[in-house]
Chain A
Amino acid sequence: MEAIAVEHSTAHSHDAHDHGHGHHHAQSFIRKYIFSNDHKVIAKQFMVTTIFFLFVGGLAALLVRWKIAYPDQAVPILGSLLPNTWVSDGVIEPGFYSQLLTMHGAVMLFLVIIPMVNGMIGNFAIPLMIGTDDMALPTLNMFSFWLNIPAAMLLMGGFVIESGMAQAGWTAYPPLSAIQGLGQTMWIAGLFLVGFASIMGAINYVTTILNKRAKGMTLFRMPMTIWALFVTAVLITLGTPVLAAALAMLFFDNFFHSSFFIPYGMLASSALDGSRNWTGGGQPLLFQHLFWFYSHPAVYIMILPSMGVVSDVIATFSRKPIYGYKAMIFALMAIGFLGFIVWGHHMFQSGMSPLLGTTFVLSTIVIAVPSAIKVFNWLGTLWGGSIRYTSAMLCALAFVSMFIIGGLSGIFMASAAVDIFIHDTYFIVAHFHYVLFGASLFGVFASIYYWFPKMFGKMMSETWGRRHFFWSFVFFNLTFFPMHIIGLGGHMRRIADPTVYDFLKPFQPMNEFITWAAIALGFSQFFLVFNIFWSLKYGKPAPRNPWNANSLEWAAPEHPGHGNFDTDITVYRGPYEFSQEYREQDYWEQWVPPTEEEKKAEAAYFEAHKGELH
């Protein structure tokens, strides 16, 4: 750090950062852009793959929606391109429908949201926001990205074989997932690798945050984004090995016909070629316990980093300190802790002992408390602010408002008794899309709009950003809000053709409406992609600190090269010193040392307001 600072603090130019700093030797193209150790390049790699997979997963969702709305009609355009084993005359076969919904879930969760909030946001934000040159373990970091590629190929590998992709849902409950063919086997292996990549990243984040903070960056001077990523990384390191165990056993059941999850007396002749036999004696519920022991914390793995980003964005664009900074941190930790003791609420109707159900109701419903603390503190941050409606801020506000709805609908299913009816219906689908898309993904959008200038050295188009926000927000709600209603009508999840049931027939027009809204929602995402490309080419050059924010990433050069900072970074205060009365400027960067007058003004202010401040 020191050496870099000395060398470059006097004369830095765009060239200097583009070509890296003194102690980083000139690198070949491959080492610099492909197998790169630079956390910012890895973040960009994650950004490219996750946005690509966002469209893959979205396409699967639209095909699923088409089948539900028009079970007997050919899929426009795509219907004629798919092989005849999967579609007949362009109409999606029920088996292919199951593959699509499995792929939609698995791709969106494991190849989009988790790598977006951890791989993309985590990699980009952590070293910059704690004021260091790179991750503690840069090579491991590189592997955590590149392992995703074979993992993704395995996950979707069934696409190129005749028997097709995995079709047991993203939850892959055995025995169904154990009795399926090669596509499922590859899916299990792929997910195992994704978990491995995820653990590598998380270990790296924990190590970096604990060991590589700049001078003066105490834990309670870290921005909320870093706190959120830290808690998330701890959840990943504790939870993912359990998923790995479950998947290893499932792989054995599927491929070597062991019986970890296969009970006695199971007949599955319809799905078997007759050559496979299991001795039995296992317990299918065991898988669900192990799976949800990871996958419930995973729900928080998917949303906590977004919560962190949203806290920072709201503070910056309200020109206010985040309200209740420590309360926000303790709420994050509480969510992280409670996340590990609520997995049973996915299993209320699974055959788990109903006595356990009562326990899980109480632990689950208590999660509403830290969630409420976060919402009230976000509202508190807006209160008395001076709000700038940038694209990043709009997406962050979308996060807050959609998270409220997702949280409120969660209370229904937290109560085991109410869950009896709504379990495995579209009410659940609506709930988790409000949390995962409405909240998490809008948080990711906010992070892209917020950090794009630092990532690429160009400002993003606000006009296109607002268009993307507006249409995404509108069509998101038109797509997912009606799902609450059809869910209350009893509409089951994962059914290919709801018209089979008389009690669902009245909801079919709503299904058609949802499908068209979903298609529009899908197309709205092209605004984002267009904006990224347009801004890369025509965007105005970004200043060093375009948002007048306080945290350390804005101390780095306009387009930081490998090594990040061109000055010596020392931290003098917390990240949220916005609009302090004793200062002229409405922000106070963490890295700027106070002058003597400023110290006096601050001391005088605190003296005058003794007892009023908290």
Chain B
Amino acid sequence: MDFMKYFDFLVWFPENVSTFGAELDHLFEVIWWIDVAIFFLTYGLLAYFLIKYRQKPGVRARGYHGNNLLEFTWTLLPTILFGGLGVYCDGAWETTKNSNRIPKPDVEIEVLGKQFNWVFRYPGADGVLGKRNDKIRTTDNLFGIDPSDPHGKDDIIIENDLHLPINKNVLVRLSSVDVLHSFFLPNFRVKQDALPGSWMKVWFNGIKAGKYEIACAELCGASHYNMRGTITMHSLDEYNTWYDTQIKGKAEQMAQAPAPEAKPAEAEAQAGEHHGDAKH
């Protein structure tokens, strides 16, 4: 059965480097082989009929109108097959996307889509992301970080260059500052639209170190094609080293240019808006 590999479309997939990716690829493969079987069945019948029943002199067609038993059979069998398939596929969907079943996160970050960059926010030295509020978002404060929250002061903001540790559950809170984007990590089998005004939870767990690409999968304007970022997966030690460098960099930056004072009125307006995950 070695020749079967030439029929397997899974070979075209980019390498999978996430935990649930294997499960999703497996589902693709299940449907693929069902499809191959149906394809050969239907095309086989089609080819056979087209050759055998071509017009021949003296041979008349048979005027059958149909057969209820056959109709019943080819209604029931696909119902069972496809209904079962739908149920079978549901488990992987729940694992990957159901926000109630996301495993306990080891790393929490935020991602914003913006024409035409990906913007990432890390918690910084204190390990806590500052409160945010979409209503106070400006071009200088894309995340709408609450200026009165001390946790927000040391948050690290990076564009297009995401770094994460392997074998850790990563929870991403995803949104957009302008139009729709779609956070697409081909190697991780992750895709989630970023909606302005809503914060979506996305999780994954990378299993292989290396540098991979981030793409935007939802038309977001003229430079949509160029909304490219990279995601580098490190071992935990490497990641910590990288993260410490970032914290130091942020501290130096804050020392040079202190953040402007918060306006009290704005700070009050955002009370109770903490991490408003509007969708889930």
Q: Which residues of A are in contact with B by a Cβ distance under 8 Å?
A: 93-95, 97-98, 167-169, 173, 175-176, 179, 263-271, 280, 282-285, 318-321, 323-325, 327, 349-355, 357-358, 361-362, 364-366, 368-369, 372-373, 375-377, 379-380, 382-389, 397, 400-401, 404-405, 408-409, 411-412, 414-418, 420-421, 423-425, 484-486, 488-490, 492-498, 500-503, 576-581, 586, 613-614
Instruction: Check A95–B55 contact: CB distance below 8 A.
Output: no
Interchain CB contact (< 8 A) of B64 among A263, A323, A327, A492 = A323
Check B66 against A423 for contact (C-beta < 8 Å): no
Which A residues touch B197, using CB under 8 A? 263-266, 280, 282-284
Say yes or no: A498 contacts B64, CB within 8 Å: no
| Chain B residue, CB-CB nearest to A351 | B195
In the bound assembly, the distance between CA atoms of A379 and B56 in angstroms comes to 19
Contact (A384, B93) CB under 8 Å given A379-B42, A492-B217: no
Report Cα–Cα, A379/B123, bound state, in Å: 62
Q: Are A361 and B179 touching (Cβ within 8 A)?
A: no
- Are A400's CB and B46's CB within 8 A? yes
Q: What are the residues of chain A within 8 A of B35 when measuring CB–CB? A: 408-409, 411-412
Q: Is the CB of B9 within 8 A of A484?
A: yes
Residues from chain B with a CB closer than 8 A to the CB of A384 are 53, 61-62, 64
Beyond A387-B55, A421-B24: 11 further Cβ-contacts under 8 Å? A98-B219, A173-B218, A176-B180, A263-B195, A383-B45, A384-B53, A388-B55, A411-B82, A489-B14, A501-B215, A576-B65
Q: Which of A354, A357, A423, A578 contacts B217 (CB 8 A)?
A: A423
Size band of the interface chain B makes with A: 35 or more
Which residue in chain A gives the minimum CB-CB distance to B133?
A: A265
Ordered nearest first, which 3 A-B pairs have the shortest CB separation? A263-B197, A265-B134, A495-B225
Whether B263 sits at the interface, judged by CB under 8 Å, is: no
Please give, as numbers and ranges, the residues of chain A lying within 8 Å of B10 by CB-CB distance: 488
- B82 and A354 contacting across the interface, CB-CB below 8 Å: no
**Do A271 and B178 touch (CB < 8 A)?**
yes
Asked if B67 CB lies within 8 Å of chain A CBs, one says yes
As a 0/1 sequence over residues 217 to 261 of chain B, the CB contacts with chain A under 8 angstroms (1 = contact) are 111111111101000000000000000000000000000000000
Q: Which of B70-78, B103-111, B147-155, B157-165 forms part of the interface with chain A?
A: B70-78
Determine if A417 and B191 form an interchain contact, defined as CB atoms under 8 angstroms apart: no
- CB-CB under 8 A from A357, the residues of chain B are 93, 97
Task: Give B229 Cβ to nearest chain A Cβ, in Å.
Answer: 11
**Are B53's CB and A382's CB within 8 A?**
yes
Closest to A271 in B: B221
Q: Write the chain A residue with the least CB distance to B115.
A: A270
Partner of B224, one of A387, A408, A494: A494
Q: Which of A283, A366, A495 has the most CB of B within 10 A?
A: A495
Chain B residues positioned under 8 Å from A354 (CB to CB): 93-94, 97-99, 280
B248 to chain A, nearest CB (A): 30
Q: List 25 A-B contacts (CB under 8 A).
A: A98-B219, A98-B221, A173-B219, A176-B220, A176-B221, A267-B178, A319-B61, A320-B61, A321-B63, A323-B65, A351-B279, A361-B93, A362-B83, A362-B87, A372-B74, A372-B78, A384-B61, A386-B59, A408-B38, A409-B35, A416-B97, A420-B97, A488-B10, A503-B14, A579-B62
Residues on the B chain within 8 Å of A496, using CB = 222, 224-225
Known contacts A267-B178, A285-B195: A362-B86 contact under CB 8 Å: yes
| A382–B46 CB distance below 8 A | yes
- Bound state CA distance, A582 and B180, in angstroms? 65
Which chain A residues lie closer than 8 Å to B62 at the CB level?
320, 384-385, 579
Binary per-residue interface labels of chain B (35-56) against chain A in the complex, 1 for a CB within 8 Å, 0 otherwise: 1001100110110011001111
- Whether the pair B89, A577 counts as a contact (CB closer than 8 A) is no
- Minimum Cβ distance to chain B for residue A226 (Å): 18
Which residues of the partner chain B approach A495 to less than 8 Å between Cβ atoms?
224-225
Say yes or no: A373 contacts B180, CB within 8 Å: no
Docked Cα-Cα span, A366 to B190, in Å, equals: 26
Smallest distance from the beta carbon of A485 to chain B beta carbons, Å? 5
Find A412's partner among B31, B70, B79, B134 (CB 8 Å cutoff): B31
Say how far A95's CB is from chain B's closest CB, in angstroms: 4
Is there an interface contact between B78 and A321, defined as CB atoms closer than 8 Å? no
Residue on A with the closest CB to B45?
A: A379
A383 & B53 in contact (Cβ 8 Å cutoff): yes
- Closest Cβ of chain B to A604, distance in Å, is 15
What's the minimum C-beta distance from B40 to chain A, rounded to whole angstroms? 11
Minimum CB distance partner of B101 in chain A? A354
Cβ–Cβ < 8 Å partners of A377 in chain B: 66, 71
Cβ contact within 8 Å between A492 and B184: yes
Contact assessment for A365 and B63 in the assembled complex, using a CB-CB cutoff below 8 Å: no
B180 touches A173 (CB 8 A): yes
**Is B190 in contact with A420, judged by CB distance below 8 angstroms?**
yes
Q: Is the CB of A268 within 8 A of B216?
A: no
Q: Considering the chains assembled together, what is the distance between the CA atoms of A270 and B90 in angstroms?
A: 40
